Amino acid sequence: MQVSGDTRWYQAVPYGSKWYHMMLVSLTGLLEVKGTTYTHTDKVKQDAHDMLVSENTITVYHNDYVTYHLDLDVNGTNNSFIKSTVTAIRDTGCDTPRRSYWTVRREVAEREANGEVDLGAVKI
């Protein structure tokens, strides 16, 4: 499934006496899937380099990520920030053409400076 994403941010939505932040993610683009005779994951006996996403429908392995900015000082300073870093992992023990895969490494930032992300020369 190859898609491009469109993110919209709705912030400070009142609900009763509290305010909530809401985010809506909508996907657009071309779905890359193919038909199969499998109807349930229990029937798949071997890894065919793809995954069953619906009855009689498979797609290639893929990852979907949503990126957003959140100001943690809205409700005071008693908050924590979890920094997620996308990391490549080499897979040497697998009998597939895929030699590596992406995973997310998560760590709790102890200070605000630990939560900064360095994208080349621009610090966010």
Q: Confirm if 27 and 38 have CB atoms less than 8 A apart.
A: no
* Assessment of whether the complete model's pTM goes beyond 0.85: no
Domain locations in the chain as residue ranges: 70-115
* Model pLDDT, residue 19: 65
Q: How confident is the model at residue 39 (pLDDT cuts 50, 70, 90)?
A: confident
Read off the amino acid at residue 88.
A
CA–CA dist 27, 51 (Å, integer)? 19
Q: Which of 29, 34, 41, 36 is nearest to 4 (CA)?
A: 29
High-pLDDT (> 90) share of the chain, %: 0
Q: How confident is the model at residue 46 (pLDDT cuts 50, 70, 90)?
A: low
CA–CA dist 90, 102 (Å, integer)? 9
Radius of gyration for the alpha carbons in the chain, expressed in angstroms and rounded: 20
CA–CA dist 120, 114 (Å, integer)? 16
